[in-house]
């Protein structure tokens, strides 16, 4: 019976069976909506996207055709929770069923925010958010490059604001600002502006701008490729994406974040009218400063001209200084003379004739002893050198009797020794002469020859006037001999003859 029932079944080909299964599945599940986690995500060269939708226990393949995949508001990535909507079908070539996706969106804002936080941590760890790497913006850029959509209101707002504040040359790089392809175009535009080498075309400042929207609409500015392109830009970059409360990854890596595209234009250039006002004010201040400097210079010049008309005014200060110095010079010189006189008396007391003769004899004995020792040492050194030269001459004569070099060398050495001995004797003689000159300089006889005198009492040499009393017998020693004398009473003072200075000459200061 079983074999009879089997033989009654119609025979089908594999293609017919696959087509029947396909029609059954498509008829039973005409349209489905699935919440799942993305697994493998692959985009073919044709532009079609193949992905896996999975949960804890099962996996379903999905495919998004080229036209629909390009319209996604975000880039599907592995691990992202999404909601896929489409038609269930089969692929006979591999005997599997799949979802033909025509709509794909993140499963709530929480999934996108989690992915965004993960990317922020990754880029922050690489140092792309550091303030130290941010570049200063130019004060007045000559050319401004704008990366935005050419058809939106953003570019019109930027151009209008720039024309109001400070008209500048704007270069527009048109890009998509929403969808899957937007991230690649924005990154390429930033890199393209940086690759311009011509200084006449290369912008001084970049503005990446877009109007407001949902997190899905702005997701292309959260792509890693856009953030890295903005971080690698050598041109200072201003990000102006969405409204003031909207933050994307490009805002963290840009050199300046503007709350709106209009705010970016305001930050890019100053107000030209304000600059002109500041220039006028600064010019007026500079003119007033120059006028004050000129007046001050005129005042100084008039004062100098008045001083030049009266030479006495110019010389009055020098005259006063000269008079003051003259008044102080007389007492100072008298003090110096008194100190020198006291020092002389002390030295003359120390240098008695007997002590001087003893010092001179001892010095002469010492010098004579040094000269004898030096002459003895010189003779001994000469004899040693002469013996050494004789030995050298004999050795050379024994080796080469026909040469005359040893004799010539001997004569040269003897001549050098003779010159050395002569120089040594001259140095010793000069030292002896210097010693005699020093002794002669402190000889009290020389002081007496210059008009001074020594006063001798019975107890010795008188050093102070208080040592003498009226009636004491004294001897006054001059350079040519001694004279006896006695100390008298107080002499009456005599008026010194008044000296007058010659007319037109300065008088004696003393």
Burial of 196 (0-12, 13-18, 19+ CB in 10 A): middle
Residue 188 has pLDDT above 90, yes or no: yes
Provide the H-helix boundaries in 169-260: 182-194, 224-231, 249-253
What tens digit of pLDDT does each residue of 77-101 get? 887 888 888 888 777 777 677 888 8
Provide the H-helix boundaries in 70-175: 109-125, 153-165
Residue 195 has pLDDT above 90, yes or no: yes
Alpha-carbon 310 to chain mean position: 54
pLDDT at 489: 65
pLDDT band of residue 71 (cuts 50, 70, 90) is: confident
What tens digit of pLDDT does each residue of 408-434 get? 665 676 677 767 777 777 787 787 777
What tens digit of pLDDT does each residue of 360-386 get? 566 667 766 776 776 677 677 767 766
pLDDT at 83: 82
Q: Which two tokens stand for residue 47?
A: 């532009």
**Mean per-residue pLDDT over the chain, rounded:** 78
pLDDT at 442: 67
Exposure pattern of 411-439 as b/e (b: 16+ CB <10 Å)? Answer: eebeeebeeebeeeeeebeeebeeeeeee
CA-wise closest residue to 158 among 273, 271, 272, 267: 267
pLDDT at 499: 44
Helix or strand (DSSP H, E) at 87? strand 81-91
Computed over its alpha carbons, how large is the radius of gyration of the chain? 59
pLDDT at 135: 93
Contacts of 126 (CB under 8 A, 6+ apart): none
What tens digit of pLDDT does each residue of 122-166 get? 898 999 999 999 999 999 999 999 999 998 889 999 999 999 899
pLDDT band of residue 23 (cuts 50, 70, 90) is: confident
pLDDT at 146: 95
Exposure pattern of 139-163 as b/e (b: 16+ CB <10 Å)? Answer: eebebbbbbbbeeeebbebbbebbe
CA-wise closest residue to 242 among 207, 197, 212: 212
Query: Is-contact 172 151, C-beta < 8 A?
Result: no
Place of tokens 């595209």: 261
Give the separation between CA 183 and CA 208, rounded to whole angstroms.
12
Residue 50 has pLDDT above 70, yes or no: yes
Question: Is residue 454 helix, strand or coil?
Answer: strand
Query: pLDDT: is 220 or 72 the higher one?
Result: 220
Q: Which two tokens stand for residue 161?
A: 């604001």
The proportion of the chain whose per-residue pLDDT surpasses 70, expressed as a percent, equals: 75
Region 106-123 average pLDDT? 77
Q: Distances in Å between the alpha carbon of 241 and those of 2, 103, 218?
A: 73, 25, 8
**Segment among 7-11, 36-40, 47-51, 279-283 with least mean pLDDT:** 7-11
pLDDT band of residue 19 (cuts 50, 70, 90) is: confident
């Amino acid at each position: 019976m079983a074999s009879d029932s089997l033989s009654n079944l119609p025979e089908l080909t594999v293609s017919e069976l696959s087509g029947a299964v396909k029609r059954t599945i498509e008829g039973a599940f005409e349209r489905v909506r699935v919440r799942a986690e993305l697994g493998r995500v692959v985009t073919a060269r044709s532009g079609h996207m193949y992905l896996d939708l999975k949960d804890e226990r099962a996996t379903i393949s999905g495919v998004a055709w080229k036209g629909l995949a390009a319209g996604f508001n975000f880039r599907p990535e592995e691990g992202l929770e999404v909601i896929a909507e489409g038609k269930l079908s089969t692929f006979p070539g591999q005997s599997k069923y799949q979802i033909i996706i025509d709509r794909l969106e993140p499963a709530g804002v929480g999934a996108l925010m989690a992915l965004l936080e993960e990317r922020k941590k990754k880029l922050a760890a690489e140092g792309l958010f550091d303030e130290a790497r941010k570049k200063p913006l130019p004060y007045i850029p000559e050319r401004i490059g704008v990366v935005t959509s050419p058809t939106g209101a953003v570019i019109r707002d930027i151009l209008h604001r720039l024309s109001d504040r400070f008209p500048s040359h704007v270069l527009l790089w048109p890009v998509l600002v929403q969808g899957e392809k937007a991230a690649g175009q924005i990154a390429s535009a930033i890199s393209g502006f940086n690759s311009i080498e011509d200084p006449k075309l290369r912008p001084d400042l970049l503005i990446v701008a877009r109007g407001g929207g949902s997190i899905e609409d702005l997701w292309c500015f959260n792509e890693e490729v856009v953030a890295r392109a903005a971080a690698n830009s050598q041109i200072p970059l201003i990000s102006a994406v969405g409204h003031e409360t909207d933050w994307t990854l490009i805002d963290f890596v840009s050199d300046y974040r503007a709350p709106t595209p209009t705010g970016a234009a305001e930050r890019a250039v100053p107000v030209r009218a304000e600059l002109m006002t500041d220039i006028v004010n600064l010019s007026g201040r500079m003119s007033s400063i120059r006028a004050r400097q000129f007046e001050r210079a005129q005042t100084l010049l008039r004062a100098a001209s008045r001083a030049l008309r009266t030479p006495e005014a110019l010389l009055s200060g020098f005259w006063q200084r000269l008079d003051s110095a003259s008044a102080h010079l007389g007492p100072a010189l008298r003090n110096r003379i008194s100190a020198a006189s006291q020092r002389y008396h002390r030295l003359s007391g120390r240098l008695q004739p007997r002590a001087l003769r003893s010092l001179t004899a001892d010095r002469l004995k010492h010098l004579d002893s040094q000269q004898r020792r030096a002459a003895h040492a010189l003779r001994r050194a000469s004899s040693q050198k002469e013996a050494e030269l004789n030995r050298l001459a004999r050795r050379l004569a024994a080796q080469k009797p026909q040469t005359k070099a040893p004799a010539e060398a001997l004569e040269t050495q003897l001549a050098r020794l003779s010159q050395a001995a002569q120089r040594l004797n001259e140095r010793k003689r000069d030292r002896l002469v210097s010693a005699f000159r020093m002794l002669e300089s402190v000889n009290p006889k020389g002081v007496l020859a210059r008009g001074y005198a020594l006063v001798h009492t019975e107890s010795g040499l008188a050093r102070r006037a208080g040592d003498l009393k009226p009636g004491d017998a004294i001897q006054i020693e001059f350079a040519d001999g001694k004279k006896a004398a006695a100390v008298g009473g107080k002499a009456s003072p005599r008026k010194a003859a008044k000296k007058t200075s010659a007319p037109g000459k300065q008088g004696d200061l003393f």
